[in-house]
Each structure stands twice: as structure tokens, then as C-alpha cells.
Amino acid sequence: MYQPAITGHGVFTPRQTITNDELVVAFNAYAERWNDAHAEAIAKGEAEAMGMSSAAFILSASGIENRYVMDKSGVLDPDRMYPSLRPRSDDEPGIMAEMALDAAGKALAMAGRDGAEIDLVICAASNHERAYPAIAIEIQKLLGAGGFGFDMNVACSSATFGIQAAADMVRSGSVRRALVVNPEICSGHLEWRDRDCHFIFGDVATAVVIERADEAQGARFDIHGTRCATEFSNNIRNNNGFLRRTRDQMEDRRDMQFMQNGRKVFKEVLPMVSAHILGHLADEGWTADQLRRLWLHQANKTMNDFIGKKVLGREPAPEEQPNILQDYANTSSAGSIIAFSKHSGDLAPGDRGVICSFGAGYSVGSVLVARA
Ligand code: COA
């Protein structure tokens, strides 16, 4: 058995941003047009007028101030309200591979490795731009990596589930050096015309290199334990899939984009996550007061504050539980890895932390790491 370690990590951040104010202007223009177009039905009580969104609500309900996106023009066009992403030909890299490659390049540089030294690529994300061939295999080819690759989807928990799969393979010796990438084009599966959720998501890609600790070229985080759990729930759901193309499903259907019952998610996921982390710590013989840092999934600030408090048994200091949510919004599986990548460099040898993601499924994954 080999000790697996994270030896590199990286974040690809799209160039375009949308502030809450910009988002609200576009949404409200769309809602006003919709209300005008349906004025008669609204007056007769046959339709409900759309409410206006507000930047103050978004900030107080979620902690989000800004999001990065691959295309803002389409999202902010009240006549369109979804990104304009150029369809790629089969002979050029896909958009997810391109985003992942940028993050992977940064992670590999940090690990002191090149693509040819990788023998496992996992593309773990909540939506994939095509069914097959796997995006991971395209990334494997573009990197010049060997071995094999595969895609996996556990929604917002994809990154930690991917890390568990890679760490287990490194531990057993079936692979030597793995790359786990999380390219998330959340702007493509968000319903930007739904006031209750139009502010939630942003786009990003993250990557981590996992290899044998004794082969690390530089600083590393040893992976002391991973734990994944799932429990079925319909409270976060997206029915989009290849069956969408059948004749009876061609019309615009709300369930073909991200849907959630946010209040229920909030209430049901919180106890699940804090119990999961505490159970994992106890089984590894770790105590919460030994944790220098919690890198949590980034969906909602209040939610993270609650989990941090439950796990530590006290209010976490801001540096103990860093949020990136204000800048990136919810980036699905990538959120906890952005937090880890941007807020782990200051830890000293021996410092311990937990990476934890949670979301649709329900699903929750935790990775206990210590700076070596
Ligand atoms: N602007 C202004 N008002 C809005 C609004 C907007 N964009 N969206 C909703 N409102 C209104 C609602 O209509 C409601 O009004 P009412 O009280 O008159 O009915 C009020 O604000 C509260 O809305 P609600 O949706 O209940 O807000 P909330 O406080 O529960 O916050 C979430 C919403 C989504 C931010 C929160 O529930 C959450 O974060 N849940 C967990 C999400 C999560 O983790 N999901 C996982 C995704 S991977």
C-alpha cells in the first residue's frame, strides 16, 4: 500500500464576470417583458406576475456578490437568458477539455510533473457536454498522458468522490499518478429566468494531482482518509439527458435545467454534512480541534457558517473556513477545491484540514488531509 498525497492543484477562472447588479438588471428586464406580454392573463388572474429580483436579496440569502462565466452576453440578453457558446467541431478540443487543461497545467506545474507522467485522468463534474467519448479521455490525449481516463458525475460532490477514487487507486498501486479535474459550466444548466435560483451559479475548472507521497517533488498534502455517502432525494434535480430529444419532450420544460427546493436542501443537508465530517474525523482518530482549516462546498454562506460551527463546536474564524462564494458563486463540484487551492499555501507541516463537498443526490464527500 502506498500513501496518496495531493501534490498539485490549480484553478481556471473564466475572464468574464457578472455582478449581482448586472444580473438583476437583465433579470428584471426579462421579467418586465414577460409581464407585459402576459398582461391580460395576469389581469384576469390566470397567470401570476413575475416578481423582480434584487441584489440585496441575493447577497443576504447567499453571500454571493459576483460570478465568473464563459459567456456573459447571452446570459444578460433579456431575449435569450442563456450563454452563447460556440458549438465546437469534433476535430477541436471541447470546451470542458479546454477549461480543464488550463487548471491541469497549473496543478501539474505545482507538482513538478508533465502530462506524460499521469496515468489516470478523472473528469468529475455535475454536467458533461456530451455523453461519449469521455471528456477525461480527450484530456488524457491533449496532455499526452498514459493509462486511462473516465468521466464521473456526483453533482456538487463530484470532486471529493473523484479524489476518493483516485486516492484509492494510488494507494493500491493500480495507478501511479492521477489527475482529477472538475470543469463546471454551471451557466449552461442554470435557469437564468427563474428568480429563485438565477443568482446561484458560476463557471470554473479545478484540478488536483494525486500521487504517491514518497514520489512527491515538492510540498504535499497527505490524504489520511476519504469518505463518501449518498442518500436519494429529489430536492435538487435536473431531468436533462439524451431522452430530451424524443418528440414529446422537445418543448421548453423547466425540469430540463437545475431545479431545487432550496429551503429543504438547506435544512436536510446541514445535519447530514456535519454528522458526516464528525463521524469521519472520529473514525480516523482525529478531533475537530486539530483542524486548522475547513474547505467546504461553496453553495451558501449561512450554510457553511452553520457547518463550521457544528464541526468545531464554536464560531469558526474566517481564516479557518475560507469562503470564495462571494467571488465565484456556487461552482458545483469545484467550490471546495477553489477554496483549498487558494487558501492552503500558508499551512505548516503537520497542519490538518478537511475538504468537504455536498449536494444533489443527496451526496457528501470528505477528504482528510495533512500538510507534510
Ligand atoms: N430577489 C428578491 N426576492 C427573492 C428572490 C430574488 N432573486 N428570490 C426569492 N425571493 C423571495 C421569495 O419569493 C421569498 O418571498 P416570500 O417570503 O414573500 O415568499 C423570499 O425571497 C425568500 O425566498 P426563499 O427562496 O425562501 O429564500 P431563502 O432564504 O431560502 O434562500 C437559497 C434561497 C436558495 C439561497 C437558500 O434556500 C439556499 O441556499 N439553499 C441551499 C441551496 C443549496 O445548497 N443548493 C445546492 C445546490 S448544488
Q: What is the pLDDT of residue 248?
A: 58
Residue 196 alpha carbon to ligand 1 centre in Å: 5
188 alpha carbon to ligand 1 midpoint, in Å? 21
Let me know: does 62 contact 199? Beta carbons within 8 Å: yes
Question: Which residues, judged by CB distance below 6 Å to any ligand atom, belong to the binding site of ligand 1?
Answer: 53-54, 57-58, 61-62, 156, 195-196, 199, 236, 260, 262-263, 265-266, 299-300, 303, 330, 359-360
Question: What is residue 253's predicted lDDT score, i.e. its pLDDT?
Answer: 81
Nearest to 9 by CA among 245, 264, 334: 334
Q: What does pTM read for this prediction?
A: 0.96
pLDDT at position 297 is: 97
Distances (CA, A) of 282 to 14, 128, 278, 353, 368: 39, 35, 6, 14, 11
Examine the residue annotation and report whether 156 is marked as an active-site residue of this protein: yes
Instruction: Give the pLDDT confidence score for residue 254 in this predicted structure.
Output: 83
Residue nearest ligand 1's atom 36 by CA: 262
Which atom of ligand 1 is nearest to 197's Cα? 34
Report which protein residue has its CA nearest ligand 1's atom 13: 196
Give me ligand 1 centre to Cα 305, in Å.
Answer: 17
CA angle 122, 265, 333 (to 5 degrees): 20
In whole angstroms, how far apart are CA 106 and each of 15, 169, 179?
Answer: 16, 23, 12
- Residue located nearest, by CA, to atom 28 of ligand 1: 61
What's the per-residue H, E or C state across the chain? CCCEEEEEEEEECCCEEEEHHHHHHHHHHHHHHHHHHCHHHHHCCCCCCCCCCCHHHHHHHHCCCEEEECCHHHHHCCCCCCCCCCCCCCCCCCHHHHHHHHHHHHHHHHHCCCHHHCCEEEEECCCCCCCCCCHHHHHHHHHCCCCEEEEECECECHHHHHHHHHHHHHHHCCCCEEEEEEEEEHHHCCCCCCCCCCCCECEEEEEEEEEEHHHCCCCCEEEEEEEEEECCCCCEECCCCHHHHCHHHCCCCHHHCCEECHHHHHHHHHHHHHHHHHHHHHHCCCCHHHEEEEEECCCCHHHHHHHHHHHHCCCCCHHHCCCCHHHHCECHHHHHHHHHHHCCCCCCCCCEEEEEEEECCCEEEEEEEEEC
- Evaluated on CA atoms 127, 130, 132, 136, the torsion sign reads negative
Q: Whose CA is nearest to atom 2 of ligand 1?
A: 53
CATH number of 222-371: 3.40.47.10
In terms of phi and psi (left: phi > 0; alpha: psi -120 to 50; beta: otherwise), the region of 350 is left
**54 Cα nearest atom in ligand 1:** 1
The residue type found at 311 is V
Phi-psi sector, 209: left (phi>0), alpha (psi -120 to 50), beta: beta
Q: What gap in Å lies between CA 365 and CA 319, rounded to an integer?
A: 22
> From CA 74, how far away is CA 349, in angstroms rounded?
46
Catalytic residue among 156, 186, 228, 356: 156
Q: What is the pLDDT of residue 292?
A: 97
- Predicted pLDDT at 208: 98
pLDDT at position 256 is 86
- pLDDT tens string, the chain, 372 residues long: the values are 999 999 999 999 999 999 999 999 999 999 999 999 999 999 999 999 999 999 999 999 999 999 999 999 999 999 999 999 999 999 999 999 999 999 999 999 999 999 999 999 999 999 999 999 999 999 999 999 999 999 999 999 999 999 999 999 999 999 999 999 999 999 999 999 999 999 999 999 999 999 999 999 999 999 999 999 999 999 999 998 877 666 555 567 888 899 999 999 999 999 999 999 999 999 999 999 999 999 999 999 999 999 999 999 999 999 999 999 999 999 999 999 999 999 999 999 999 999 999 999 999 999 999 999
User: How far, in Å, from the CA of 195 to the mean position of ligand 1?
Assistant: 9
Q: Ligand 1, residue 260: give the atom nearest the CA.
A: 45
Please give the number of the atom of ligand 1 that sits closest to the Cα of 198: 7
Q: Is the peptide bond before 362 cis (omega within 30 degrees of 0)?
A: yes
| Nearest CA residue ID for atom 37, ligand 1 | 262
Nearest-CA residue for ligand 1 atom 9 is: 196
Residue 324 Cα to ligand 1 middle (Å): 20
Alpha-carbon gap, residue 10 to 267, rounded angstroms: 32
Ligand 1 centroid to residue 262 C-alpha, Å = 7
Beta bridge partners of 371: 221
Choose the residue to mutate in 201, 263, 304 for probing ligand 1, maximizing ligand atoms within 8 Å of C-beta. Answer: 263
Burial letters 119-133, b for 16+ CB under 10 A, else e? bbbbbbbbbbbeeee
Return the pLDDT at 255.
Answer: 87
CA distances from 17 to 59, 327, 342 (A): 16, 9, 19
